[in-house]
């Protein structure tokens, strides 16, 4: 019984962490799908979400809801600027060059945030209190429910957007074949910009909802970005649901690994499984093998 | 008449010259601090404090009538740079003593330089290997981790708690703490029944705590620097852990209480005495120094003085005492430093000897508990 309770706790903790990875992974996949590049500044969008919310809350004295909207909006604008100033001007650059540029951008954003707000870790108050909730012998915080809720909303929203709107379908078309999309009259440039907008918004939203739990500082984006990237890889860098499952699996494995095996090898266990998946199913866990990307 | 005027001028000029010659040149002291870079949270208050102490000493007439001149360089937390700058201090600036560097890495790198040049160094970093084994020219002011561990174990022994779970961060601070926790346990009759770690950037430690909960220890000791311990405090509250939670001196600042919020209540940790200077009994030897340091720092920088500034304060004051007693030569200063006994500074009461260049006992740490978002002393 004791062990069962423990395992329930590990799984719930893991799912909570996993949802965060899933959200970040999703924002990786969105940009990858329309541009073919992996945006390594994604973690920085997450960090900006948290840091800007705290700034709006403490310095600008906005109420929490307004602070969140402001933070997501500002991060989205930064995402747009990033695409306009760093990605678009390089018309015929290879994806590799673009990836290097995103790494440069991530270092720049991190540096600017460090200079503006210092190196201290800051905490955001929880959205609805810190009284733990008991579920099947395990406990979780109200903030975890926020994380689950927002993750589900974002997934549903993405699914509806990509499958049932003209813009969403156009973006998917760009991901399948850029030239063909262009030929049928889709403005690829606009779709790329659009993908940065959505990705920055989703990333920063993830940063906002986790800030009360994990706290935030100028350098939280590095590790979170890496974990989100793993989630996206596990999901095959494309399918929305696959990425989400990838994130949840990664989070649960970490938590079970730390709890049942050894906390020292927690990351090692998770990354070992990632490597295993890459060996056995290089196309990702939940993706049909025949999908070919050009 | 003309002759008289010129003689007057000449004698005046002579007089001026002779007074200039009479006022001896200032005593040059070198300082190496990591003012920028990842360790700037150490280096900045240290630099500020060292400069403040020198200004205060000079304002009060200097040491034995001679002014002090502080030559500060920024190592940026880079050991290679620290070595270059130490060479510069010794060869170009010809300082009689050096205080700093801020980090153990920098200190270990400059030790060969000062040992060769035979210039005393008072390090402001904590690493135990700086003064163990003892090096002839090297002293330090920051408290060893060993003392913090001893302080916690002593309290646990007093409360007859013998089974502990440890949760340490997987960086150099945490692994040094983990080593010490394991090494000293037997001496205090303590048994470590669960030994877990977490990554410095981890955001959820409920798995480790769930595991610890089922091991049913009498106390949990967590060793890390912000933000990890704050996450652990919150996770412990989430899981409803009723086991006493001890933290390390690595989080002994108001920042920890701010980050952990309500979850910080009841957490205990060993801390240098700066944090609780006003709470100390009048009989405490350090109280005078502590209050003076806090007041001076407030006047100079409009900020609260912290432990790190305290390390530089101790280094400068020890040096001042050594110059007063031993003269202004490196060798004289070194011998006088080694003979320092019962100097009540910020980090503790220092008594150096030929065998001990760290100079502190576990009384350098005091055990504090968080209550109502503030510190109280644990009796």
Mean confidence (pLDDT) of chain A = 86
As a whole number, mean pLDDT of residues A262-288 equals 78
Give the residue from A1, A6, A9 with the most B CB atoms within 10 Å of its CB, the best one to mutate.
A9
| Chain B residues near residue A120 by CB distance under 8 angstroms | 255
Question: B101 vs A118, B108, B125, B254, CA distance in Å?
Answer: 22, 9, 7, 25
Tell me the pLDDT band of A98, cut-offs 50, 70 and 90.
confident
As a whole number, mean pLDDT of residues A143-153 equals 90
What CA–CA distance (Å, rounded) separates A157 from A175?
A: 19
| Chain A residues near residue B237 by CB distance under 8 angstroms | 130, 132
For chain A, the residues whose C-beta falls within 8 A of a C-beta of chain B are 2, 6, 9-10, 13-14, 16-17, 20, 119-123, 125, 130, 132, 139-141, 210, 213-215, 217, 219-220, 222-224, 254-256, 258-260, 262-264, 266-267
Asked if B239 lies within 8 A of A132 by C-beta distance, the reply is: yes
Alpha helices for B216-329 (secondary structure H): 228-239, 254-260, 287-301, 307-326
Tell me the shortest Cα–Cα distance from B206 to chain A, in angstroms.
7
Quick check: B225 and B247 in contact, CB under 8 A?
Answer: no
What CA–CA distance (Å, rounded) separates B357 from B360?
A: 9
Same domain membership, residue B250 and residue B177: yes
% of chain A surpassing 90 pLDDT: 27
Q: In the predicted model, is pLDDT for residue B15 greater than 70? A: no
What CA–CA distance (Å, rounded) separates A240 from A244?
A: 7
Inside any domain, residue A55: yes
Inside any domain, residue B368: no
Same domain membership, residue B150 and residue B124: no
What CA–CA distance (Å, rounded) separates B338 from B290?
A: 23
ipTM, 2 decimals?
Answer: 0.81
Quick check: A28 and A42 in contact, CB under 8 A?
Answer: yes
**Residue of chain B minimizing CA distance to A253:** B207
What CA–CA distance (Å, rounded) separates B331 from B321?
A: 14
Q: Using one digit for the tens of pLDDT, what is the confidence trace for A12-53?
A: 889 988 999 999 998 888 888 777 788 899 999 999 999 999
**Residue of chain B minimizing CA distance to A142:** B238
The number of domains in chain B is: 2
The alpha carbon dihedral of B249, A119, B204, A102 has a sign of negative
Instruction: Say what the pLDDT of residue A283 is.
Output: 75
CATH number of the domain at A16, please: 1.10.3470
What CA–CA distance (Å, rounded) separates B266 from B13?
A: 71
Asked if B207 lies within 8 A of A256 by C-beta distance, the reply is: yes
What CA–CA distance (Å, rounded) separates B110 from A120?
A: 29
Instruction: Say what the pLDDT of residue B252 is.
Output: 84
Q: Using one digit for the tens of pLDDT, what is the confidence trace for B75-119?
A: 988 899 999 999 999 999 999 999 989 988 899 999 999 999 999
As a whole number, mean pLDDT of residues B71-77 equals 92
Tell me the shortest Cα–Cα distance from A204 to chain B, in angstroms.
17
Same domain membership, residue B150 and residue B139: no
**Partner A contacted by B210 (CB < 8 A):** yes
Is A271 exposed, middle or buried (CB count within 10 Å of its CB: 0-12, 13-18, 19+)? middle
**Partner A contacted by B203 (CB < 8 A):** yes
Tell me the shortest Cα–Cα distance from B153 to chain A, in angstroms.
24
Instruction: Say what the pLDDT of residue B319 is.
Output: 95
As a whole number, mean pLDDT of residues B268-286 equals 89
Q: Using one digit for the tens of pLDDT, what is the confidence trace for A157-193?
A: 988 888 899 988 888 888 778 888 889 888 888 888 9
Question: B120 vs B19, B94, B99, B341, B344, CA distance in Å?
Answer: 31, 12, 8, 17, 21
Inside any domain, residue B202: yes
Mean confidence (pLDDT) of chain B = 89
Quick check: A87 and A98 in contact, CB under 8 A?
Answer: yes
pTM for the model stands at 0.80
Question: Angle A166-176/A142-164 helices, nearest 10 degrees?
Answer: 80
Ramachandran category for residue A93: left, alpha or beta (phi over 0 → left; psi -120 to 50 → alpha): beta
What CA–CA distance (Å, rounded) separates B67 from B58?
A: 5
Instruction: Say what the pLDDT of residue B1 is.
Output: 54
Inside any domain, residue A293: no
As a whole number, mean pLDDT of residues A114-140 equals 84
| Chain B residues near residue A223 by CB distance under 8 angstroms | 199, 201
**Partner A contacted by B94 (CB < 8 A):** no
As a whole number, mean pLDDT of residues B231-255 equals 89
Closest CB from A120, A213, A263 relative to B197: A263
The number of domains in chain A is: 1
The alpha carbon dihedral of B200, B204, B205, B207 has a sign of negative
Same domain membership, residue B355 and residue B310: yes
Say which DSSP state B227 is in: T
**Partner A contacted by B207 (CB < 8 A):** yes
Inside any domain, residue A213: yes
Asked if A16 lies within 8 A of B204 by C-beta distance, the reply is: yes
3-state secondary structure of B45: helix
Same domain membership, residue B259 and residue B344: no
Instruction: Say what the pLDDT of residue B90 is.
Output: 94
For residues A46 and B278, the model is more confident at A46
**Partner A contacted by B27 (CB < 8 A):** no
Q: Give the domain range for residue A134.
A: 2-280
| Rg of chain B (C-alpha set) | 24
Q: Using one digit for the tens of pLDDT, what is the confidence trace for B135-191?
A: 999 999 998 888 899 999 999 999 999 999 999 998 878 888 899 999 999 999 999
Asked if A2 lies within 8 A of B170 by C-beta distance, the reply is: no
Question: B280 vs A177, B155, B274, B277, CA distance in Å?
Answer: 73, 18, 10, 6
Give the residue from A123, A131, A247, A254 with the most B CB atoms within 10 Å of its CB, the best one to mutate.
A123
The alpha carbon dihedral of B294, B300, B305, B309 has a sign of negative
Quick check: B197 and B170 in contact, CB under 8 A?
Answer: yes
Same domain membership, residue B200 and residue B102: no
Q: In the predicted model, is pLDDT for residue A288 greater than 70? A: no
Inside any domain, residue A288: no
Give the residue from A223, A259, A270 with the most B CB atoms within 10 Å of its CB, the best one to mutate.
A259
Quick check: B157 and B368 in contact, CB under 8 A?
Answer: no
Asked if B210 lies within 8 A of A13 by C-beta distance, the reply is: yes
First to last CA, chain B: 83
Tell me the pLDDT band of A201, cut-offs 50, 70 and 90.
very high
Say which DSSP state B188 is in: G
What CA–CA distance (Å, rounded) separates B178 from B66?
A: 47
Asked if A214 lies within 8 A of B263 by C-beta distance, the reply is: no
Inside any domain, residue B372: no
Q: Give the domain range for residue B183.
A: 146-271
3-state secondary structure of B219: strand
**Residue of chain B minimizing CA distance to A214:** B203
Closest CB from A17, A141, A260 relative to B203: A17
Tell me the shortest Cα–Cα distance from A222 to chain B, in angstroms.
9
As a whole number, mean pLDDT of residues B276-286 equals 88
Inside any domain, residue B200: yes
Instruction: Say what the pLDDT of residue B95 is.
Output: 95
B310 CB-side CA count, 13 A: 27
Same domain membership, residue B111 and residue B154: no
Inside any domain, residue A6: yes
Asked if B237 lies within 8 A of A140 by C-beta distance, the reply is: no
Q: Using one digit for the tens of pLDDT, what is the confidence trace for B289-325?
A: 999 999 999 999 888 888 889 999 999 999 999 999 9
Q: Using one digit for the tens of pLDDT, what is the confidence trace for A204-254?
A: 999 999 898 888 888 888 888 988 988 888 887 766 788 888 899 889 988
What CA–CA distance (Å, rounded) separates B238 from B218?
A: 19
Is A222 exposed, middle or buried (CB count within 10 Å of its CB: 0-12, 13-18, 19+)? middle
**Partner A contacted by B353 (CB < 8 A):** no
What CA–CA distance (Å, rounded) separates A92 from A98?
A: 10
- Phi/psi for A41 (5° steps) reads -85, 5
b vs e for B324-362, b when ≥16 Cβ sit within 10 Å of the residue's Cβ?
A: eebbbebebbbebbbebeebbbbbbbbebeeebbbbbeb
Quick check: A242 and A236 in contact, CB under 8 A?
Answer: yes
Instruction: Say what the pLDDT of residue B265 is.
Output: 92
Asked if A210 lies within 8 A of B207 by C-beta distance, the reply is: no
What CA–CA distance (Å, rounded) separates A168 from A152?
A: 18
Neighbours of B115 (CB within 10 A): 14
Tell me the shortest Cα–Cα distance from B266 to chain A, in angstroms.
17
Tell me the pLDDT band of B20, cut-offs 50, 70 and 90.
very low
CATH number of the domain at B47, please: 3.40.50.2300
Instruction: Say what the pLDDT of residue A294 is.
Output: 44
**Partner A contacted by B168 (CB < 8 A):** no
Asked if B259 lies within 8 A of A130 by C-beta distance, the reply is: no
Q: In the predicted model, is pLDDT for residue B21 greater than 50? A: no
Question: Beta B268-271 vs B138-140: how paired, if at all?
Answer: unpaired
Tell me the pLDDT band of A259, cut-offs 50, 70 and 90.
confident
Residue that is last in its domain, among B246, B271, B296: B271
b vs e for B157-193, b when ≥16 Cβ sit within 10 Å of the residue's Cβ?
A: eeeebbebbbbbbbeebbebbbebbeeebeebebebe
Quick check: B248 and B224 in contact, CB under 8 A?
Answer: yes
Instruction: Say what the pLDDT of residue B266 is.
Output: 92
As a whole number, mean pLDDT of residues B252-265 equals 87
């Amino acid at each position: 019984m004791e062990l069962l309770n423990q395992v329930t706790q590990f799984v719930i903790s893991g799912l909570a962490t996993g949802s965060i990875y899933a959200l970040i992974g999703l924002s990786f996949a969105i940009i990858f799908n329309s541009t073919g590049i992996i945006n390594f500044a994604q973690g920085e969008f997450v960090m900006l979400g948290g840091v800007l919310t705290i700034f709006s809350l403490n310095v600008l004295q906005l109420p929490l809801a307004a602070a969140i909207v402001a933070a997501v909006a500002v991060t989205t604008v930064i995402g747009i600027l990033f695409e306009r100033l760093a990605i678009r001007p390089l018309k015929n650059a290879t994806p590799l060059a673009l990836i290097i540029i995103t790494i440069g951008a991530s270092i720049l954003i991190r540096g600017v945030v460090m200079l503006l707000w210092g190196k201290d870790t800051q905490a955001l108050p929880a959205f609805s209190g810190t009284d733990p909730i008991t579920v099947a012998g395990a406990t979780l915080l109200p903030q975890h429910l926020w994380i689950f809720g927002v993750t589900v909303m974002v997934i549903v929203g993405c699914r509806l957007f990509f499958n049932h709107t003209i813009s969403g379908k156009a973006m998917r078309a760009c991901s399948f074949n850029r030239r063909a999309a262009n030929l049928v009259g889709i403005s690829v440039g606009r779709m790329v910009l659009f993908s940065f907008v959505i990705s920055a918004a989703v990333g920063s939203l993830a940063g906002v909802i986790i800030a009360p739990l994990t706290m935030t500082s100028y350098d939280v984006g590095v590790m979170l970005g890496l974990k989100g990237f793993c989630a996206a890889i596990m999901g095959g860098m494309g399918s929305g649901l696959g990425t989400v499952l990838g994130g949840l699996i990664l989070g649960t494995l970490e938590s079970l690994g730390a709890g049942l095996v050894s906390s020292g090898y927690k990351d090692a266990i998770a990354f070992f499984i990632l490597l295993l998946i890459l060996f056995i199913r290089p196309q990702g866990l939940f993706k049909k093998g025949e999908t070919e990307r050009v | 008449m003309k002759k008289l005027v010129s003689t007057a001028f000449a004698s005046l000029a002579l007089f001026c010259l002779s007074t200039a010659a009479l006022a001896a040149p200032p005593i040059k002291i070198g300082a190496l601090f990591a003012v920028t870079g990842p360790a700037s949270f150490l280096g900045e208050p240290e630099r500020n404090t060292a400069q403040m102490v020198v200004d205060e000493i000079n304002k009060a007439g200097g040491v034995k009538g001679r002014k002090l001149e502080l030559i500060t360089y920024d190592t940026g937390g880079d050991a290679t740079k620290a070595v270059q700058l130490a060479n510069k201090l010794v060869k170009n600036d010809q300082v009689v003593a050096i205080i700093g560097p801020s980090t153990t890495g920098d200190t270990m790198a400059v030790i060969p330089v000062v040992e060769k040049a035979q210039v005393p160094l008072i390090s402001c970093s904590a690493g135990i290997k700086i003064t163990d084994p003892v090096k002839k020219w090297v002293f330090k002011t920051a408290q060893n981790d060993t003392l913090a561990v001893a302080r916690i174990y002593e309290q646990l022994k007093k409360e007859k708690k013998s089974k502990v779970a440890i949760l340490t961060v997987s960086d150099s601070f945490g692994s040094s703490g983990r080593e010490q926790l394991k090494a000293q346990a037997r001496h205090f009759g303590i048994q470590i029944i669960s030994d877990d770690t977490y990554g410095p950037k981890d955001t959820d430690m409920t798995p480790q705590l769930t595991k610890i909960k089922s091991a049913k220890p009498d106390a949990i000791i967590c060793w890390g620097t912000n933000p990890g311990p704050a996450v652990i405090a919150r996770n412990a509250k989430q899981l409803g852990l009723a086991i006493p939670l001890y933290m390390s001196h690595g989080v002994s600042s108001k920042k920890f209480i701010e980050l952990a919020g309500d979850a910080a209540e009841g957490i205990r940790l060993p801390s240098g005495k700066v944090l609780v200077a006003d709470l100390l009994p009048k009989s405490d030897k350090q109280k005078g120094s502590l209050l003076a340091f806090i007041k001076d720092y407030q006047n100079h920088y409009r900020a609260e003085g912290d432990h790190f500034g305290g390390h530089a304060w101790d280094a400068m004051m020890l040096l001042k005492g050594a110059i007063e007693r031993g003269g202004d030569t490196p060798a004289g200063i070194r011998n006088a430093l080694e003979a320092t006994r019962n100097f009540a500074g910020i980090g503790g009461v220092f008594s150096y000897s030929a065998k001990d260049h760290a100079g502190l006992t576990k009384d350098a740490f005091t055990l504090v508990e968080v209550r109502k978002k503030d510190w109280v002393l644990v009796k």
